[in-house]
């Protein structure tokens, strides 16, 4: 009796999806080793030239670092703003909640090209006043990314909040807790996972963002997707496959390391689950 | 009582709600109004662009195709995400570790790389067709790409990891004891799943469907590469209008109509859903 | 108190002297860069406010990315920088008509030079968004007759040609558009260009219209032909890489592709994918200057003039396969490569040039109708 585990059918379904998710790697990994200068499966000959290109050409590393900077800043800002907003909606339930949420989701709904134009004019206007946050600057890109990402973060935070039992907030209020205490001591700790996923999703969205980024950058703030897309009209450099393989390898190493560190100890998702496990372990012992 | 509470709480309420609202209003809302204005002023003042929109058969067919494809993608991606999220949240440590890997890996493949990867897998001389021909299942290659099927496959693949997060978030806060209690009472797995598990994670499903559907409306790269240039979707149509023919008024009008349609769908959604999830 | 023009002229003189010193080897490249930077940075802010960033020492050239970035940098950018000290930065985001219009409408364009379709430059120029070419700096005599426009300077040529999978057809090669549209003689699927250009001409030629009677294009006839043929078209490619993969993956046995891409395909496929010049459609490429460009009109024109040098156009031909705009370059191309030059007299005679005037009037509407036909 070790908790409610997925049955055979569920495992099979999940496995099918997992295979589907990994399928493009069947093409991408071999392609990254092709000896040709264009995207093709290596017919016999393998080559590391595209990996070497990543090291030799400084543009790749610079773009990756820029994307990292932009991603960290924009995901942090977006998550904080979205969390505050989500808390406001959940705690106070303002009358116009649906309208406010609808407004916040606007950047997500509008076609990316129009968002791109909108943000382009915003940033060029800002460039008229200052040199730091504007067109073709990394802070300008971060600003635009926050705008595009915030709606997604809001949805995730709202989902997390919707799972919360209001009674703990009511209890805290009844005991005289202030808004700040309710937020920081009661509510936020219980939606930790939700906020974390919002932050992670925000980072990935910023990392991948191309529609708007293509428009608001030129030669200075070249993010990784921008660099990859420079060749869209013409040739697709297999180096992009090499980039993906490298990033995936890093991810795998990080996750494996984490699994090994957590090792024999079962991964405790929450203190309540750990407590439950301890209880059932003791019960097992008693039953013999 | 409520009024008093409202007054007392107005300070903190503003502090929480205002930052995001002000930021978006300033950085997006106001410039966007400028774009909306184009739909009424370019090339001439009036509602001419909207009239043109309604009468243009291409626009109508593009809208229909877009909604059809996005609906299909939403269903597939949400279902797929649900299956894998279930294992990620509720499985054994080994299952959790493996699924986590599978969910996170696709994020690092840029959308362009992915699209060409699917092209390599699905084209006539691609891996899938070669394998099927090799084992004798088919004689001629199947047309899996350069059509809507390829587009749906590519888009679903991209969106499943995004849909996983809201679903996992909802699944995680589900109290396991409810499921155990149901089992203790003699219910079979399938029954527990449909009558308890799914309804209790409904908020996650809806959040995922929302993200996927709205996100997919904005896709134009994947459909362009995998659709054979024939499945023009609304995002690409707006791009064409704004960049190839510089018809900014029409591009803006299409965007406004899209926002209105999605807004309507969301309003309908919240009508049915809000009582259950947001105001618990 | 020196006037702004004196100051600018003095700067130019100093830069000139410096570059001569560099050429003579009297100073190192590093020293040159340092001194040049000091010179340019030394301009007091008061002078800057006048004519934007005329002495900013930078030009942003926007083209379509990919191999073109390295090629333009090697052929034009670096030599120009050596001569004048002005850095040329490449932006590969693709100067579509709408993007150019957005640049101008923002009031603060950041693009200087654009590798634009001549007809786009023409229609934007008429709206006051493109700087007219200064033919006192740019030499019209270094261009082929008929290809120097008011708002765009001819810089290269490429063609839309028939590329085919020779493995499928053995020794038989298509001889023109009629063969392209004949699936009985040449079985298999076809692939066409998504953005319409040259496809109308191809359809009309395939329908039997004589080459000299093409313009003005009978769009109705062209679209009817394409509509009737649609079942045989596997895809409409939007970019070079797509046109290559559709042929090399075997999804199409024939496609209308850019000659520059066809040349690369022939090399990449070890001769399996071949192409013919018959009834190819020559398309001119050109450089245009955005109105009120940040780097200054003068410098932009100087750059265009410098790009007319035959030696530099030869580098572009070697790296990209684009036909040179300057007829003097033809003689420099080695005999074994002449077959790839779309404007080589031998190849040009088999082809038809696209009419830029027609495109500047009709492209937008034609593309709309074309998109309707292919997406239905």
Condensed to tens digits (0 to 9), the pLDDT of residues C44-66 reads: 333 333 334 444 589 999 998 88
Contacts B–C by Cβ distance under 8 A: 73
DSSP per position, C21-72: HHHHTSS-HHHHHHHHHHHHHTS-HHHHTTSTTTTS-EEEEE---THHHHHH
**Res C39: pLDDT:** 46
Q: Where are the domains of chain C?
A: 4-156+285-329, 159-283+353-375
Nearest Cα residue to A242 out of A53, A59, A65 = A53
Partner A contacted by C241 (CB < 8 A): yes
Q: Are A213 and A225 a contacting pair, CB within 8 Å?
A: yes
Could you tell me the residue range of the domain that residue B24 belongs to?
1-41
Report pLDDT digits (tens) over C168-203.
888 889 999 999 999 999 999 999 999 999 999 999
Packing angle, helices B127-134 and B111-122, rounded to 10:
20
Residue B219 sits in the same domain as residue B255: yes
- Does residue B2 have a pLDDT over 50? no
Report pLDDT digits (tens) over B18-39.
899 999 999 999 989 988 888 8
- Interchain CB distance below 8 Å, C241 and A235: yes
Give contacts of A120 with chain C, Cβ < 8 Å: 102, 106
Chain A partners (3+ C-beta pairs within 8 A): B, C
Q: Where are the domains of chain A?
A: 8-47, 58-236
**Interface with chain A: mutation pick from C110, C114, C156, highest number of A CBs within 10 Å:** C110
Q: Are C319 and C67 a contacting pair, CB within 8 Å?
A: yes
**Interface with chain B: mutation pick from A24, A92, A203, highest number of B CBs within 10 Å:** A24
Give contacts of B247 with chain C, Cβ < 8 Å: 364
- Interchain CB distance below 8 Å, A143 and B27: yes
**Overall average pLDDT of the B1-5 stretch:** 44
Give contacts of A56 with chain C, Cβ < 8 Å: none
**Res C29: pLDDT:** 57
Give contacts of C102 with chain A, Cβ < 8 Å: 117, 120, 215
- Does residue B246 have a pLDDT over 50? yes
Give contacts of A218 with chain C, Cβ < 8 Å: 60, 62, 91, 93, 110-111
Give contacts of A160 with chain B, Cβ < 8 Å: 169-170, 173
Higher pLDDT, B131 or B43: B131
- Does residue A125 have a pLDDT over 60? yes
- Please state which CATH number belongs to domain C159-283+353-375: 3.40.190.10
Closest in C237, C364, C376 to B229, CB measured: C237
- Does residue C3 have a pLDDT over 50? no
**Res A129: pLDDT:** 83
Residue B18 sits in the same domain as residue B88: no
**Res B3: pLDDT:** 45
Closest in C251, C367, C372 to B124, CB measured: C251
Higher pLDDT, A95 or A231: A95
Q: Output the average pLDDT for chain A.
A: 85
- Does residue B8 have a pLDDT over 70? no
Q: Are C103 and C110 a contacting pair, CB within 8 Å?
A: yes
CA distance B30 to chain C (A): 16
Token digits of residue C349: 């005679």
**For chain B, how are helix, strand and coil distributed in percent, rounded to 5?**
80, 0, 20
- Interchain CB distance below 8 Å, B225 and C368: no
Q: Are A32 and B95 a contacting pair, CB within 8 Å?
A: no
Partner C contacted by B31 (CB < 8 A): no
CA distance B107 to B114: 10
CA distance A45 to A43: 6
Partner B contacted by A204 (CB < 8 A): yes
Q: What is the CATH number of the domain that holds B141?
A: 1.10.3720.10
Give contacts of A216 with chain C, Cβ < 8 Å: none
- Interchain CB distance below 8 Å, A234 and C67: yes
**Res A255: pLDDT:** 81
Three-state DSSP state, B188:
coil
Nearest Cα residue to B78 out of B151, B167, B195, B201 = B167
Three-state DSSP state, A285:
helix
- Does residue C19 have a pLDDT over 60? no
Nearest Cα residue to C249 out of C234, C261, C263 = C234
Domain total for chain B?
2
Token digits of residue C342: 């779309």
- Interchain CB distance below 8 Å, A230 and C67: no
**Res C50: pLDDT:** 32
Q: Residues 6 or more apart from B55 whose CB is under 8 A from it?
A: none
- Does residue B193 have a pLDDT over 60? yes
- Please state which CATH number belongs to domain A58-236: 1.10.3720.10
**Res C171: pLDDT:** 84
Report pLDDT digits (tens) over C233-291.
999 998 888 898 889 888 899 999 999 999 988 988 888 999 999 999 999 999 999 99
pTM of the entire predicted model: 0.82
Q: Residues 6 or more apart from B82 whose CB is under 8 A from it?
A: B163, B167, B205, B208
- Does residue C128 have a pLDDT over 50? yes
Q: Does domain C4-156+285-329 have CATH number 3.40.50.300?
A: no
Residue B72 sits in the same domain as residue B129: yes
**Res A76: pLDDT:** 96
CA distance B89 to B85: 6
Residue B31 sits in the same domain as residue B156: no
Which DSSP category does C217 fall into? P
Q: In which band, very low, low, confident or very high, does the pLDDT at C24 lie, cut at 50, 70 and 90?
A: low
- Does residue B241 have a pLDDT over 70? yes
Higher pLDDT, C223 or B203: C223
Higher pLDDT, C45 or C80: C80
Buried (b) or exposed (e) across B156-175, using 16+ Cβ within 10 A?
A: bbbbbbbbbbbbbbbbbbbe
Q: In which band, very low, low, confident or very high, does the pLDDT at C43 lie, cut at 50, 70 and 90?
A: very low
Closest in A39, A40, A218 to C91, CB measured: A218
Q: In which band, very low, low, confident or very high, does the pLDDT at B272 lie, cut at 50, 70 and 90?
A: low
Higher pLDDT, A168 or A275: A168
In-domain check, residue B278:
no
Residue B31 sits in the same domain as residue B51: no
**Res C54: pLDDT:** 43
Three-state DSSP state, C315:
helix
Q: Report the percent of chain A where pLDDT is more than 90.
A: 27
**Res C12: pLDDT:** 54
CA distance A72 to chain B (A): 16
Report pLDDT digits (tens) over A2-50.
467 888 888 999 999 999 999 999 888 988 898 887 777 777 788 898 8
What ipTM describes this predicted complex? 0.87
């Amino acid at each position: 009796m070790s908790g409610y585990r997925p049955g055979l059918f569920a495992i099979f379904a999940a496995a099918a999806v997992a295979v589907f998710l990994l399928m493009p790697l069947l093409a991408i990994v071999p392609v990254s080793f092709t000896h040709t200068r264009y995207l093709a499966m290596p017919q016999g000959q393998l080559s590391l030239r595209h990996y070497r290109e990543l090291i030799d050409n400084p543009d790749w590393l610079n773009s990756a670092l820029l994307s990292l900077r932009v991603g960290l800043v924009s995901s942090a800002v977006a998550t904080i703003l979205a969390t505050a907003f989500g808390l406001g909606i959940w705690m106070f339930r303002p009358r116009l909640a649906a309208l406010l949420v609808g407004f916040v989701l606007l950047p997500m709904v509008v076609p990316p090209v129009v968002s791109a134009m909108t943000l382009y004019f915003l940033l060029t206007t800002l460039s008229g006043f200052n040199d730091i946050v504007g067109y073709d600057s990394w802070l300008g890109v971060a600003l635009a990314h926050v705008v595009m990402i915030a709606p997604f973060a809001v949805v995730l935070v709202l989902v997390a909040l919707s799972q919360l039992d209001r009674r703990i907030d009511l209890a805290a209020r009844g005991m005289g807790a202030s808004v700040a205490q309710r937020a920081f001591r009661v509510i936020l700790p219980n939606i930790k996972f939700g906020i974390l996923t919002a932050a992670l999703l925000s980072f990935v969205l910023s990392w991948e963002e191309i529609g708007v980024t293509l428009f608001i950058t030129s030669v200075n703030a070249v993010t990784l997707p921008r660099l990859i897309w420079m060749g869209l009209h013409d040739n697709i450099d297999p180096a992009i496959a090499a980039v993906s393989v490298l990033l995936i390898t890093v991810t795998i190493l990080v996750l494996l390391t984490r699994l090994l560190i957590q090792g024999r100890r079962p991964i405790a998702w929450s203190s309540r689950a750990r407590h439950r496990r301890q209880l059932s372990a003791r019960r097992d012992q008693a039953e013999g | 009582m409520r009024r008093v509470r409202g007054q007392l709480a107005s300070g903190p309420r503003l502090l929480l709600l205002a930052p995001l609202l002000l930021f978006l209003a300033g950085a997006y809302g106001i410039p966007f109004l400028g774009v909306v204005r184009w739909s009424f002023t370019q090339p001439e003042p009036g509602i001419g662009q909207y009239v043109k929109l309604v009468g243009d058969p291409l626009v109508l067919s593009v809208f229909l195709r877009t909604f059809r494809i996005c609906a299909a993608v939403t269903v597939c991606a949400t279902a797929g995400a649900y299956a894998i999220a279930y294992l990620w949240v509720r499985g054994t440590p080994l299952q959790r570790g493996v699924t986590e890997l599978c969910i996170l890996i696709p994020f690092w493949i840029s959308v362009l790389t992915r699209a060409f990867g699917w092209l390599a897998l699905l084209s006539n001389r691609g891996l899938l067709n070669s394998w099927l021909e090799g084992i004798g299942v088919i004689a001629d290659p199947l047309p899996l790409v350069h059509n809507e099927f390829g587009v749906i496959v590519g888009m679903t693949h991209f969106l499943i990891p995004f849909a996983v997060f809201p679903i996992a978030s909802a699944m995680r806060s589900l109290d396991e004891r409810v499921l155990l209690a149901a089992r203790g009472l003699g219910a079979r797995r399938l029954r527990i799943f449909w009558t308890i598990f799914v309804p209790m994670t409904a908020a996650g499903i809806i959040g995922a469907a929302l993200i996927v559907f709205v996100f997919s409306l904005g896709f134009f790269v994947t459909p362009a590469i995998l659709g054979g240039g024939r499945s023009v979707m609304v995002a690409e149509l707006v791009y064409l209008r704004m960049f190839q023919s510089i018809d900014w008024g029409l591009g803006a009008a299409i965007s406004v109509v899209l926002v209105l349609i999605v807004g309507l769908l969301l309003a309908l959604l919240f009508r049915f859903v809000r009582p259950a999830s947001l105001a618990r | 108190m020196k006037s702004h023009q004196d100051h600018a002229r003095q700067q130019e003189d100093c830069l000139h002297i410096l570059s001569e010193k560099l050429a003579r080897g009297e100073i190192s490249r590093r020293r040159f860069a340092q001194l040049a930077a000091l010179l340019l940075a030394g301009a007091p802010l008061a002078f800057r406010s006048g004519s934007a960033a005329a002495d900013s020492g930078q030009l942003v050239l926007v083209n379509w990315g990919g191999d073109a970035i390295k090629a333009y940098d090697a052929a034009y950018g670096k030599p120009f920088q050596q001569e004048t000290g002005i850095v040329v930065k490449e932006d590969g985001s693709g100067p579509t008509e709408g993007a150019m219009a957005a640049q101008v409408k923002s009031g603060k364009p950041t693009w200087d030079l654009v590798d634009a379709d001549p007809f786009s430059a023409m229609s934007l120029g008429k709206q006051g968004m493109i700087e007219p070419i200064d033919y006192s700096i740019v030499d019209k005599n270094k261009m082929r007759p008929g290809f120097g426009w008011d708002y765009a300077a001819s810089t290269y040529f490429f063609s839309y040609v028939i590329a085919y999978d020779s493995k499928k057809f053995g020794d038989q090669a298509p001889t023109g558009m009629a063969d392209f549209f004949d699936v009985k003689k040449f079985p298999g699927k076809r692939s066409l260009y998504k953005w319409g250009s040259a496809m109308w001409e191809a359809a009309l030629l395939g329908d039997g219209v004589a080459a000299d009677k093409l313009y003005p294009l009978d769009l109705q006839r062209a679209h009817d032909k394409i509509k009737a043929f649609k079942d045989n078209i596997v895809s409409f490619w939007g970019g070079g890489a797509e046109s290559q993969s559709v042929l090399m993956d075997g999804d199409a046995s024939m496609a209308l592709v850019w000659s520059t891409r066809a040349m690369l395909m022939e090399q990449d496929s070890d001769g399996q994918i071949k192409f013919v010049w018959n009834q190819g459609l020559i398309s001119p490429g050109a450089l245009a200057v955005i109105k009120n460009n940040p780097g200054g009109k003068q410098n932009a024109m100087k750059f265009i003039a410098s790009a007319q040098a035959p030696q530099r156009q030869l580098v572009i031909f070697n790296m990209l396969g684009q036909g040179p705009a300057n007829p003097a370059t033809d003689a420099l191309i080695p005999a074994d490569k002449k077959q790839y030059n779309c404007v080589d007299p031998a190849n040009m005679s088999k082809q038809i040039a696209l009419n830029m005037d027609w495109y500047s009037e009709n492209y937008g509407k034609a593309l709309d109708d074309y998109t309707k036909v292919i997406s239905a």
